[in-house]
Structure 1
């Protein structure tokens, strides 16, 4: 089929495929990596998921997600997320910062709050060997989901901490529009900050639920191979996760989606 040595299936792409079946399907297809989501891990059970992954010989490439630092109980939830990543053998916990506090218009203040919250998590992450990856989301999500809207925003926070403890998550769906992203990728690479690389395409027109507007590689307008080559040039040699949110994709059998995802990865990313 082509070079799949770095390919990892992010569990979001086959959201309705039960975790145990996803793990077994990946192993049977010769896929070496899987990115897990906390809600789906919880349904399967943390210990059972960890055991299934080990038995299948898969590498957990990331755990999604921590963050949402304006939510009540954020600190306890993020400490649990770090421990879950450690238990699963996931080297990276992806952080989505959360949006503005209720009633606030202070974006700068919200970003300072994110920086302060991550600083609180760093000692525990370092202690258990989990790297925090700050993920910038497209600016349309800034008000309610993620005030970290550019790779530069994420790096400004990450660079306050050792690179082996805090890095960034590069997601093509959220960054493709930014003409400054190429310089920021070089900056991230120079500091050894790229902790996670995720790919998805941008489909137009967006569906009513914009969160579900991600397409499989080649379905939209993103220069996916250009991104992969740029992160490679920046020194990143790790897994490449395909992470897609789309109702049409979720409605199909998981094994069918996995096979198409692998094919499209080879055609448009590798």
Structure 2
């Protein structure tokens, strides 16, 4: 398995963290993205700590929902308090970064919500830097407007710069954008993670991800651009939705990891 392949826990979020990490090891994946709601449970954290301490796998990133309860408009500081805890967990597990779902905007305009996100996040930036953990914000489908404000790659880059943090580039959310290579060239210097999946035209539910190679996303061409533009980090498989469930997460994740590994090997990553 190519050493830059990572697998996101969301594909098996019903499985405890320890067994999920063991599955990654069993199929040869060396890195994983974990989800903070599970890690905030003590027994889940123990499973992750044991796997990392025994050298079986590395935690490449942690996914954390920021101002979800309540949203950006109504948050009173709870989001920052919870993120501080996740930063400390990331440092303990050796995870180099945390990528954030911002939370919904409430009644705020985009600009107001972006400023509010930066304000709420401010107490966390110095703490993250002191613990050696990078904070990232991802671009996500506009169908997630209830929990996130950054959808196009330029908007997400604008938000990251405003907040003084980095980027998680989700190719599933931006592969259809115009001038994608040019946008990637501007975004990738701030990128701490690139996420990979496919999309089958006609799928209109959310989430609607597919195993790489099963859909219409020209992944090899895009990944060639990503590599040519100098990105040196992990490629994270974020697989979730009806197609993944119908096939079975274990089989879908195994196929996806091998497909992505083969692409990266062909491209000389």
Q: Which residue of the partner structure matches residue 156 of structure 2?
A: 154
State the 1:76 CA deviation: 1.3
Tell me whether 1:259 sits opposite 2:222 in the alignment. no
Task: Please give the residue correspondences for 1:110-129 in structure 2 after superposition, counting only pairs within 5 Å.
Answer: 110-129=113-132
Deviations for 1:193-236, whole angstroms, at most 9, x for unmatched residues?
1111111112333354x1x2111112222121222222212211
- Shift in Å, 1:252: 5.4
Alignment match, 1:173: 172
**Cα shift readout 1:35-63 (whole Å, capped 9, x = no counterpart):** 11123334542133122223143111110
Q: Secondary structure at the match of 1:179?
A: coil
Separation in structure 2 between the aligned mates of residue 266 and residue 223 of structure 1, nearest angstrom: 16
SS in 2 for 1:201: coil
1:48 equivalent in structure 2: 47
1:82 match: 87
Match of 1:6 in 2: 4
Structure 1 residues not aligned, in runs of 5+:
none
Unmatched runs of 5 consecutive residues or more in structure 2: none
- Separation in structure 2 between the aligned mates of residue 82 and residue 64 of structure 1, nearest angstrom: 11
Q: For 1:1-270, what aligned pairs fall within 5 Å after superposition? A: 4-42=2-40, 44-68=43-67, 70=72, 72=75, 73-101=78-106, 104=107, 106-142=109-145, 144-160=146-162, 166-189=165-188, 192-208=189-205, 210=206, 212-250=207-245, 254-266=249-261
1:179: how far off? 0.9
Contact 2:80/2:121, CA 8 A, preserved across alignment: no
Give CA deviations for 1:127-151 in whole Å, capped at 9, x if unaligned: 1111011111123333x12211222
Distance 2:150 2:156 in 1: 6
Q: Deviations over 1:100-156 (max 9, x none)?
A: 21xx152221122122223332111111111011111123333x1221122222222
TM-score (norm 2): 0.85
- Please give the alpha-carbon distance, in whole angstroms, between the structure 2 residues aligned to 1:227 and 1:67: 29
Task: Give the Cα–Cα distance (whole angstroms) in 1 for the partners of residues 132 and 261 of structure 2.
Answer: 32
Measure how far apart 1:20 and its partner are.
1.7
- Provide Cα deviations, 1:67-104, integer angstroms capped at 9, x if missing partner: 23626421212222222211221101001112221xx1
8 Å contact from structure 1 (residues 134, 158) kept in 2: yes
Q: CA RMSD in A?
A: 2.4
The count of residues paired between Structure 1 and Structure 2 equals 258
